Structure 1
Amino acid sequence: MTEETISSAAEEAGKAKPRQRSLSGRLIAVATIWSVVAIAVAGFILVTLYRQASESAFDERLDVYVKAIIGDMAGGEPGKPTRPDNLGEPRFDLPVSGWYWTIVDDRQGAVVFASLSLFGDALDLPALPASGETTSVTSGPDGEEIRILQRRITFNDEEVYRIAVAGATKELREQTAEFAGQVALTLTVLGLGLVGAIFLQVRVGLRPLRDLRQSLANVRNGDAESVEEDLPKELAPLAIELNDLIRSNREIVERARTHVGNLAHALKTPLSVITNEARGTDGPFAAKMAEQAAIMRTQVEHHLERARMAAQRRVIGVSAEIEPVVARLARAMSKIHADKDLDIDFEVPKGIRFRGEQQDLEELIGNLLDNACKWSNSRVCVTVKPAPAAGEGRERVEIEVSDDGPGLTAEQRKEAVKRGRRLDETVPGTGLGLSIVADIARIYGGALELDVSELGGLSARLILPMAQAAVRI
């Protein structure tokens, strides 16, 4: 392998695979976050409204008791208010029950009457505003929180009293907390239902995209010739454009193949004439002409083959399964090298495919197998497995052909892939095998790496693009 190839392969391997972002995941996440926020706000509003309604009902209840006290006081003689009795709430008569009332002479500040529930204690009454009425929260005789309603009443324009009725807020807080728990449970169930509905909606809504992706993958892997156009009206134009692009790509490649073939015929005929004329003439000039014509023929065939492969690499929908190719070539090499009685083992997963022309795959593996069989002592091993993904998340396949021959030094491994370079003239061959493999691998965006095998000989590791399966959405 050349230094340029080694550097390119190292840079490619160093590229980190980009993190794929899921469109469905993003939609579900946004909808879920919005649903959670909306449900939380709705729950807060509901609990707040319930608390306000409960407090309003509690204040109306206190107001009823205040009016009942005023009525009882007004029924007595002038200057002698009557003690209120039978307000309809027995807890006013139970000691420290949480429900209290008191009547204070507003001018003198003395307590006139008080409920039995106070049990000799006095309520801590907040200051009364000029309006003569207020509702506030304070602490009761037992330290509990109470809600107190005060009102200033004037009898006969002379007698001014402050009437206060208070009730413990514990029951009110417990009812609010219970309601909040019920709301939280209800909204949680509703939220989970909404998230589930959102998930189903996104999955069902994006199913046509998954179908389009699968259809395009089938085209790329060679299982179909065109993308399915029976899609929703939003995606149908995209499928039509993709099919037009595929057809245009095939037409361009077909024209390139035709031009390459025409060029090959146009060059081979004059070269054949020159070669025949040179061979029919004696002398050093004729021999030199024949030699150079042969070199030209080799170079023309080599570069025309590279042009053909470069065109095929850009064909959409071309792939080949690796396992049948390796099995077929292993059987052929066993017959070709029958005199060496080689043990050719191969391990290839079923269904793994090379993204490219089958004849290129056969040439790649065939050259490596032939080279391994020539130099091995008794054993050749072929191993195929997925390789780490390259840049942009493209899947690759690794094909390793190893033998138990003498192997090569590091310098020899570098020289072996140079076109036309032969390390041993005693073994038949053109010297182009490994260089052609390296060229084809580079054309497909892969690489050829030579190293020491576990068998003790040479290990030729080929990195090629792998036909990808469809990605689920």
Structure 2
Amino acid sequence: MTSHDPAAAPPQHRRRPPLSLSFRLFVLAATWTAIALATALYVLIAYYRASVERGFDSLLDLHLFNVVAAIQQDEAGHPVGAPQLGDPRFSAFQSGWYWQVIRLGEGRDELLVSPSLSGARLLLPRIEDVPFGADFQRVMDIDGPGGRRLRAIEQLVVFGDTGDRLSFTVTGDLGEVEQEIATFRNLVLAVFGLLGVGLVAATLLQVHIGLKPLRDVRAALGAIRQGRATRLEGDYPAEIAPLTREINALIESNAKIIERARTQVGNLAHALKTPLAVITNEARAASSPLGAKVAEQAGLMRHQIDYYLDRARVAATAGVAVSVTEVGPVAESFARAMRRIYADRGTTLDVDVPAGLRFQGERQDLEELIGNLVDNAFKWARSRVVLTCRLLPGSDPDGRPMLGITVEDDGPGLTEEECAQAVRRGRRLDETQPGSGLGLSIVRDLADLYGGAFALARSDLGGLRATLHLPAA
């Protein structure tokens, strides 16, 4: 990560995170449940409607049979009779339950109706619109007296004695059918609604219980990342057990790689520093311009070796679960040391680090970072240095919390161009101050290796403000 001012960074357009497994499973199960319930509801209501209508038509057909059986012709051929259907609705005024008999003939249609029809006449559709079937019967829906919607069955009967054709019609109120169906539909909707709520709750419970092992794995990984555990422990289902084994194998492999890297770094440091120490001592003992130059260059070589060895060590450990370091004790330790070292200058150091803040990384690296920043601030401060640390929730591009460490002083400060030059390796803006010029560049490189950020800017105290972002544990 290149060095930049975290506060001045342009807003990043984050990709929408993928949907969670819980949400996917719930939506899939809930959608299937809704489709199944809706289909079952439609089929059930349709079947019940067909059953009610069949029963209704059968009842009308029975009444029609009784009406046909009860009607006779007198000597003049007029239809006579009083059917006893056993249903008081055929006697109630405009009840929707009617019967009528018509003697058909050219110009001599004769009418006989039920008491409920009260002398009115049912208007039937034309035969061309609703033709009779092979059994000389037709079924239709019509509008009756009072605006009621009626189901009508008409039967043509030819009397053998006279050869007259008579039309027999019986009707029933379709509103009663619709009311019965509506009552059933409301009941079924209520039952299916409760069933749907129960199924949704069961789905949520099923998803919650089914994904619990994954939450356990996540919690165990969090414990490893925070340094409270070294591997995934516990019994997991067969579907997840291979994953946990592979994660444990990866953690063990990383630990071995880190240990080998530390060993090699230590060996290299011992192999190089011992000859350099001998060269430095011999050069200083020579007491000559050449000896002084050799000693100076050997010191620079030692600084370069320290720099690259630290970089190699951090590169081997950054990004893997190694350790967690409390920020407060490290900051206080450097505060005590700096107060003693610069006691004669009267420079004050204010430390504001809330308890509980932890850095996800090696203590040695945190000491290197804070030490370089605080030491640089003391070199330039006139009277005051301020060290603060805050937790920045979700400030990482991946949404992880970061530590915001700020070191400010009231010294002369730097311009924007000088801030950019100050973090270059070996670049010293003032040769009168002691040092190798590697301090701020080491801070920048360590921050990059840990996935953080480092920036320099003008401080409100009048001097320099160094801002460091590091992963929090």
Q: What is the TM-score of this pair, normalised by structure 2?
A: 0.90
Distance in structure 1 (CA, Å) of the matches to 2:111 and 2:168? 10
- Aligned match of 1:66: 64
**Are 2:458 and 1:460 aligned?**
no
Rate the CA distance shift 1:334–1:20 in 2: closer, same or farther, 3 A: farther
Deviation readout 1:298-355 (Å, 9 max, x if unpaired): 2112111111111121432422232332233334333433345555334434433222
Of stretches 57-66 and 379-388 in structure 1, the one that deviates more from structure 2 is 379-388
| Cα distance change, pair 387–341 in 1 and its aligned pair in 2 (3 A) | farther
How many angstroms does 1:413 deviate by?
A: 1.7
* Native 8 Å contact 1:124 1:140 kept in 2: yes
Paired amino acid for 1:21: L
**Structure possessing the higher relative contact order (Cα contacts under 8 Å, 6 or more residues apart):** 1
Kindly indicate whether residue 371 of structure 2 is the aligned counterpart of residue 360 of structure 1: no
* 1:344 alignment counterpart: 349
Residues 385 and 316 (structure 1 numbering): CA distance in 2 closer, same or farther, change over 3 Å?
closer
1:428 shift after superposition = 4.3
Match of 2:410 in 1: 404
User: For 1:271 and 1:13, how far apart are their aligned partners in 2?
Assistant: 48
Cα pair 2:385 2:407 within 8 Å, conserved = no
Question: For residue 43 of structure 2, what is the aligned residue in structure 1?
Answer: 45
Provide the residue aligned with 1:136 in structure 2. Answer: 140
Aligned counterparts of 2:406 and 2:439: Cα–Cα separation in 1: 16
Which residues of 2 match residues 27-46 of structure 1 at below 5 A?
27-46=25-44
Match of 1:94 among 85, 92, 99: 92
Deviates more, 1:281-290 or 1:218-227: 281-290
Equivalent position amino acid for 1:327 in 2: E
Q: Letter of the aligned partner of 2:384 in structure 1?
A: S
> Over residues 40-82 of structure 1, what are the superposed CA-to-partner deviations in whole Å (9 max), with x where a residue is unaligned?
1111111111111111111111112111111212597794543
In structure 2, list runs of 5 or more residues that go unmatched: none
Of 204-213 and 57-66, the range deviating more from structure 2: 57-66
| Root-mean-square deviation (Å) | 2.7
Asked whether the equivalents of residues 221 and 355 of structure 1 are also in contact (C-alpha less than 8 Å), the reply is: yes
State the SS of the aligned residue for 2:274.
Answer: helix
Cα distance in 2 between the residues matched to 1:55 and 1:427: 103
Q: Aligned AA for 1:125?
A: L
After the TM superposition, which residues 199-218 of structure 1 pair with which residues of structure 2 at under 5 Å, given as runs?
Answer: 199-218=204-223
What is the letter of the counterpart of residue 380 of structure 1?
V
Q: What is the aligned length?
A: 465
**Deviation per CA, 1:341-396, whole angstroms, max 9, x where unpaired?**
55533443443322211111122112212222333323524132316533344432
Partner of 1:113: 112
> Take 2:110 and 2:73, find their aligned partners in 1: how far apart are those partners?
19
Task: Map 1:277-292; keep pairs closer than 5 Å.
Answer: 277-281=282-286, 283-292=288-297
Deviates further, 373-382 or 29-38: 373-382
- Offset at 1:284? 4.4
**Counterpart-to-counterpart distance in 2, 1:314 and 1:85:** 97
- C-alpha displacement of 1:199: 0.2
Structure 1 position 191, deviation (Å)? 0.3
Q: 1:6 to 1:149 in 2, by over 3 A?
A: same
The aligned counterpart of 2:153 is 149
Q: Does 1:123 align with 2:129?
A: no
CA distance in 1, matches of 2:355, 2:25: 37
Corresponding residue of 2:443 = 437
CA distances 1:196-243 after superposition (whole Å, capped 9, x unpaired): 000001001100110011111111221101111421222122111111
CA contact (8 A) 1:349 1:385 kept: no
The offset of 1:272, in angstroms, is 2.8
**Match of 1:309, SS?**
helix
Q: Which runs of 5+ in 1 are unaligned?
A: 468-473
Paired AA for residue 459 in structure 1: R
Q: Deviations over 1:437-459 (max 9, x none)?
A: 11211121222111112233211
**Following the alignment from structure 2 to structure 1, what is the Cα–Cα distance between the partners of residues 110 and 340?**
122
2:323 match: 318
C-alpha distance in 2 between matches for 1:307 and 1:8? 26
* AA matched with 1:110: D
Q: Secondary structure at the match of 1:421?
A: coil
Quote the sequence identity (%).
45
Look up the SS of the partner of 2:349 in the other structure.
Answer: strand
The residue that corresponds to 1:383 in the other structure is: 389
Question: Cα 1:350–1:451, aligned 2, differ >3 Å: closer, same or farther?
Answer: same
Structure 1, 85-94 or 62-71: larger mean CA deviation: 85-94
One-letter amino acid matched to 1:378: R
Distance (whole Å) between structure 2 residues aligned to residue 271 and residue 188 of structure 1: 84
Instruction: Decide which moves more: 138-147 or 408-417.
Output: 408-417
Deviations, residues 267-323 of structure 1 (Å, cap 9, x unaligned): 223323333443444654444333332222221121111111111214324222323
